[in-house]
Amino acid sequence: MNEEDRKKYKENKKRYFEKTANLKTQNIDFTTVSSEPVNSLYTPDDIQGLNYNADLGFPGEYPYTRGVYPNMYRGRFWTMRQFAGFGSARDTNRRYHYLLDHGQTGLSVAFDMPTIMGYDSDHERSLGEVGKCGVAIDSLSDMEILFDEIDLSKITTSMTINAPASILLSFYLAAGEKKGVGFEAMGGTIQNDILKEYIAQKSWIFPPEPSMRIITDILKFCTQNVPRWNSISISGYHIREAGSTAIQELAFTLADGFAYVEAGIEAGLDVDDFAPRLSFFFNAHLDFFEEIAKYRAARVIWAKRMKEKYGAKKEKSLLLRFHTQTAGCTLTAQQPENNITRTAFQGLSAVLGGTQSLHTNSMDETLALPSEKAVRIALRTQQIIAYETGVVNTIDPLAGSYFVEAKTREMIANAEDYFRRIDDLGGVIKAIEKGFFQKEISRAAYEYQKLVEDKRKIIVGLNKFDMENEKIDIPILKIDPEVEKKQRDAVISVRENRDNDKVSRELERLRKTAEGTNNLMPVILDCARCYCTEGEIISELKKVFGEYQEPIFL
């Protein structure tokens, strides 16, 4: 732009804002869903410090603002996953075959609460919870049934499990091994992100220090033995579901990621040996453009930090690859069919933001686990985005948008401010112990809820356009109470029919290994092979590591 054109542009901009200054506006909240301010109009002047050549660049080139791969979806679509798990392993196996038959391209395991917390199905604390919010997996026997007639060399599997991640991964590897599939051929992801449990989701077992030891043991083992496995999926999803803003989700998730990188380096690993197998898991919330800016900002921050602070040299170490799930917390029990529309927009934002993998929620998930019809609609939503909307025809179609680029810069700056605050507190674990993350999320959740209650944020069908005496007219999946009884009987049968002398020896070896410094993964894998149950393995580790009790934060 020459000087004459620049002068004309400034005059036109001034005239526009003078002309529109006193126009009437609606009485609603013109901020993002995270209550960040939004200008009425964005121009090049709002993109602070953006050098188009150096910062925006091209897809697949540092700092990857426009995507981690040069060809993005013109080369291949994102992996279409549906988070699935309910009842017994056999029930869920049937659902997996149903999804694969309808075009799903990756599997994702939802575990029930006893499995998540490390209890066997016949433990007293499991009563009434077995198979309710996911699938019950007590031993290698269940994992074998879960993946019956599924080729683990041809499908990738994501497992949302954290505190007992080493055990469920061992069950999976042992199940593949029994099918004749080598570790080097198995691909997938375990969430294994314990830091966000202390921050948001609260499904921990052990204190932070031994938990971080287990994670670095998994990191080492997978780096050396399971090269196609993502050993940590650093999750912002649950941080957002707990009530955080988009900026908090971005900053806290990346801060956790940096903590894992530092732990890996401290454990003696070369950053370029393990960083390429770290992945991320973000939430796709309802503010369309804010979410897109969040994903773009995440790629830039990660690439620059990995290169400039941690000295990564391989390009793959710089790539922030991420899975996205649409926001469960935005779904409503009222007028549940509206959730189909919400999910479609959220899924579209993830695709426009450059996700590598996507789960779209089902319309009935505030009422029950998804029915087959609901999960099929959710999968079809992804397929319609991919095949019918045209958004995959060009790479990064929103690049250069004044609004998107300005919000991306703003996200980066605000995240960097959070990183400084976390560093001042002594790092992520110290910040957790001081309740920093928990307080920040609680405050954000409270402020958002106030906006909803005051009708400054409109939720269609909830605080506006609601229906009196509404009848829910969709099928609801109900878990047969017999599932729990059969699962309890199954785990008892496993204990009765295995080599219990070998089990005792392996569990003792596990306890002694936990007391020392050797890698726990090979021993846990041997426990899995001889059909030790999850609860038995966890019990031995508790004898050494203890259990975490969250302090009261005032």
Residue 463: partners with Cβ closer than 8 Å, 6 or more residues away: 452, 453, 455
DSSP annotation of 157 reads: E
The one-letter code for the residue type at 73 is: Y
In a domain, 172, yes or no: yes
In a domain, 154, yes or no: yes
With contact defined as beta carbons under 8 Å apart, do 67 and 396 qualify? yes
- Tokens found for residue 464: 């506006």
Give, in order, the Cα–Cα distances in Å from 53 to each of 62, 65, 70, 284, 353.
11, 12, 16, 29, 20
Domain range for 362: 64-453
Q: Using DSSP, state whether 35 is helix, strand or coil.
A: coil
Adjacent-strand bridge partners of 284: 326
In a domain, 267, yes or no: yes
Number of domains in the chain: 1
Supply the pLDDT for residue 15. 84
Torsion over CA: 545, 218, 195, 259 (sign): positive
d(CA 472, CA 125): 32
- Tokens found for residue 85: 């798990």
d(CA 17, CA 40): 9
d(CA 66, CA 87): 41
In a domain, 521, yes or no: no
DSSP annotation of 87 reads: B
- pTM here is 0.91
Residue 48: partners with Cβ closer than 8 Å, 6 or more residues away: 406, 409, 410
Mean pLDDT of successive 10-residue stretches along the chain, which has 554 residues: 80 82 76 86 72 70 93 92 89 94 91 98 97 96 98 94 98 97 96 96 96 96 96 97 98 98 95 96 97 98 98 98 97 97 98 97 93 94 95 91 93 97 97 96 96 95 93 87 96 98 98 98 98 98 96 79
How many residues comprise the chain? 554
R_g of the chain computed on alpha carbons: 24
- Treating both helix axes as pointing N-terminal to C-terminal, what angle do 521-529 and 500-515 enclose, rounded to 10 degrees? 170
Sheet of strand 79-84: strand arrangement? 229-230, 188-190, 157-159, 106-109, 79-84, 357-359, 322-326, 278-284, 232-235
In a domain, 554, yes or no: no
In a domain, 177, yes or no: yes
Q: Using DSSP, state whether 485 is helix, strand or coil.
A: helix
Adjacent-strand bridge partners of 108: 83, 158
- Treating both helix axes as pointing N-terminal to C-terminal, what angle do 165-178 and 208-225 enclose, rounded to 10 degrees? 30
Supply the pLDDT for residue 37. 86
In a domain, 504, yes or no: no
In a domain, 15, yes or no: no
CATH number at residue 262: 3.20.20.240
d(CA 532, CA 500): 9
Supply the pLDDT for residue 8. 83
